[in-house]
Amino acid sequence: MEALPLAVTTGWASGVNAYACVLILGLLGRFAGAGDVPHALTTTPVLIAAGALFAFEFVADKIPYIDSAWDAISTVIRPTIGAILAALLSSEAGTLQQALIATTGGVVALLSHAVKSSLRLAINTSPEPVTNIAASSGEDVAVAGVVSLAAFHPEVALVIAGVLLVLGLIAVYFGFRFIRRGSARFKAWRDKRSPVTGSSAV
């Protein structure tokens, strides 16, 4: 089960930005001597494909509404990549252990993807682009930092990824609670104004 911390951490990162996760792991394995990175991720075709897809997501993820559309498309892709990475990382484990680790990586990726996409929906209630750019840039930095740390210190990175996931779930809860309250207040204000508007028109 030595691969479990790295599998969970890369699962979290895959749910946020799967292509960045693959690209960073591949680069670290190829150029920085990260021994736990599977050889398949360090090959030139994988690095080129991951780099191109990351470049596309880097732009799309910072545009209001486009980011949420991209999140919807990625609902299957990100957890799948998380599970595949976990399976590759646990390749030396037994069949049952590998299946459990792969499932764990996929489930964690699904959770972090749900957090990311939910927060983006909340952010998009205010369609100015600054918040989207800031959120996306913060995610990029977090993924790069956590994955880089995980390649050499997986246990430490596991703790950080767990904390970020819990904080994300809390942010989703309070974010949507705030939006619901704001919506209810706006509806009450609008209903209160409606009779006045109607009588003035008569």
Predicted confidence (pLDDT) per residue in 93-129, tens digit:
668 888 999 999 999 999 999 999 999 988 888 767 8
> What pLDDT is recorded for position 187?
65
Collect contacts of 167-176 with beta carbons under 8 A, ≥24 apart.
Answer: 168/112, 168/115, 168/116, 168/119, 169/111, 169/115, 171/115, 171/119, 172/114, 172/115, 172/118, 172/119, 172/122, 175/118, 175/119, 175/122, 176/118, 176/122
Residue 49's domain comprises 4-201
What is the count of structural domains for the chain? 1
Low-confidence ranges of the chain (pLDDT < 50): 197-202
Would you say 89 and 38 are in contact if contact means Cβ atoms under 8 Å apart? yes
Q: pTM of the predicted model, to two decimals?
A: 0.86
The pLDDT assigned to 95 comes to 83
* pLDDT, position 167: 95
Contacts of residue 147, defined as CB under 8 A and 6 or more positions apart, other chains included, come to: 9, 10, 13, 20, 21, 24, 25, 28, 157
pLDDT the model gives residue 199: 45
Question: Cα separation of 147 and 55, whole Å?
Answer: 18
For residue 189, what pLDDT is reported? 64
Residue 194: what pLDDT?
Answer: 64
